[in-house]
Amino acid sequence: MNTRNLLVSALVVGLALPAFAQDGFRVGVQVGSMKTTGPATQFGLTQNPSTSSINTLYIDQPTQTPMALDLAWVRGDDEFSLTYFSTKKKGTTSYMDPASPIIFGGIIFSSSSAGLTASNEYKATLIDATWKRTLIKGDAGSFAFSAGLRYSKVTDELNYQQLDAASNPTGIYSHVKGEGTGFGLVSGLHGKVTFSDRMWLTTGFAAALINNTNKTDDYSIATGGPVTTFMNDDSHQSLLQTDAYLRFNMNFVSNFNGYLGYEVRDFNKDAARVSNVYTGVGLPTTSGFGLSGFTLGLSYTF
């Protein structure tokens, strides 16, 4: 059973067994419209033949629409939750300029063509099992601490293809993929400001230290030629991820709450990094990514 089906099954079981939710049981869903953050990927240069001026070409960073599912049991000042977060987006950029040579990679690598097309696909899956304890509470708001475990899988995959004047594939094709997978500890601080029974503001910050395993896949193919592998290095590293959020919450009707929020996530810029002997002279490489943008959430409690 895959991760998504497993979590959906858990939500169904939770809804079917409300007797175990002594103080309260919550199921929730969140969607977002978030910009991809991190260094933009360079994949080529153009050089004007008359002025010799050089312009750098980058892949456009796509807007992503991540989804999160939440299952929680609240008992007194304690909350036990299981959260699943997932995002996947592919961005594609093409450049055509037959009059000015377009150089794949850097000037030293110097394989020019009339055009280039490039794509960058980002994926991230996080699963958090968290305990949250309210330390301070009152009519004006509350303050809480959280701790738990996180599973993280982050993938950054790049593809590049040279084009001729008719936009047909020609010359060098390159593919680079980095994937980071690991488990670790996550902890956070959370605050709540209460305006009324139906309106309140929440904010929080969490950090996760992941024991990460990198798997890299990095090669280039010249049309009609063999595959040349530059590096395939699997390694372990400690990886720090951070999450921050600010949400305006409202109670719509009995047991249904919703929020509009802004969220910033950093999966770490080296979460899925590939390096090779050509990186220093402009050959594109992965660098990991993050997200920032607006989110909408809806939850039901009973």
Please name which of 144, 38, 25 lies closest in space to residue 89, comparing C-alpha atoms.
38
AA letter at 289:
F
- Please indicate, yes or no, if residue 119 is contained in any of the structural domains: yes
- Please indicate, yes or no, if residue 278 is contained in any of the structural domains: yes
- Please indicate, yes or no, if residue 43 is contained in any of the structural domains: yes
Say how far residue 132 (Cα) sits from the centre of its chain: 24
pLDDT digits (tens, 9 = 90+) for 18-40: 333 347 899 999 999 999 998 88
Please name which of 178, 204, 201, 134 lies closest in space to residue 267, comparing C-alpha atoms.
178
- Please indicate, yes or no, if residue 24 is contained in any of the structural domains: no
- Please indicate, yes or no, if residue 185 is contained in any of the structural domains: yes
pLDDT number for residue 198? 92
**pTM for the model:** 0.84
Q: Answer with the residue of higher pLDDT: 182 or 53.
A: 182
pLDDT number for residue 41? 79
pLDDT number for residue 114? 81
C-alpha neighbours within 13 Å on the C-beta side of residue 124 = 23
Mean pLDDT of 67-87: 96
d(CA 115, CA 166): 9
Range of the domain at 278: 29-301
Q: Quick one: what percent of the chain has pLDDT higher than 90?
A: 46
Tell me the pLDDT band of 88, cut-offs 50, 70 and 90: very high
pLDDT digits (tens, 9 = 90+) for 100-154: 777 766 554 456 778 888 888 999 999 999 999 999 999 899 999 999 999 999 9
Q: How high does pLDDT run on average in the chain?
A: 82
Quick check: 239 and 212 in contact, CB under 8 A?
yes
- CATH number for 288: 2.40.128
pLDDT digits (tens, 9 = 90+) for 171-223: 777 788 888 899 999 999 999 999 998 999 999 999 999 998 887 776 666 65
- Please indicate, yes or no, if residue 5 is contained in any of the structural domains: no
Q: How many domains does the chain have?
A: 1
Which pairing describes strands 227-231 and 199-222: parallel, antiparallel, or unpaired? antiparallel
- Quote the tokens at residue 83: 């959260």
- Please indicate, yes or no, if residue 14 is contained in any of the structural domains: no
- Please indicate, yes or no, if residue 20 is contained in any of the structural domains: no
